[in-house]
Amino acid sequence: MDNQFERNIQKPVGIYAVCIAIILAHGGIQFLYYYRDFMLLEGDIPFTITFVSLFLLGFNVATAIWAIYGDNLSRICLLIFDSLNVLWFVFLVIISIAYSETQNLEFLKILTIIFRPLVISIVVLCICWYFFTKSEVVAYYRHISKLEE
């Protein structure tokens, strides 16, 4: 087993692509959707919803940047925070649909607006889980962690 860690393992190029996709999809696009929704919402927004939404986005982007550097703990944190971020987004979509008081035609228009970023988030989550659980990526992160010990 020690011979596996003694050889030099190259950094998979896909780490950069997946992390940048996470930063753009969850840090940029999802933040803009939250900002738009918060501005269009009539009335007060509960502090906890705003805080948790921005907290998860911030930590998701931070762990994606951390994962680029090659720490094994960052890979695990990225998978956790990315999953929590998408679950929180699904929760917000369900809550917004449940409490909407619109007509059927307008309701369909709202659904198309809501589901576009939701689909993007779920696709990025699936790519993240697929890539960061591949054996060569896991081997790279374990190799880097073993070198840092």
Query: Nearest 5 degrees, angle CA 20-CA 24-CA 27?
Result: 115
What whole-number distance in Å separates Cα of residue 70 and Cα of residue 33?
Answer: 30
Look-up of token digits 């911030």: 58
- Return the closest-CA partner of residue 136 out of 1, 45, 14: 14
Look-up of token digits 């738009």: 36
pLDDT score, position 6: 53
- Per-residue pLDDT tens for 55-87? 888 898 999 999 988 888 888 999 999 999 889
Look-up of token digits 């809501």: 114
pLDDT score, position 13: 83
- Return the closest-CA partner of residue 56 out of 18, 26, 17, 96: 26
Higher pLDDT: 133 or 111? It is: 133
- Per-residue pLDDT tens for 23-41? 998 888 888 888 877 777 7
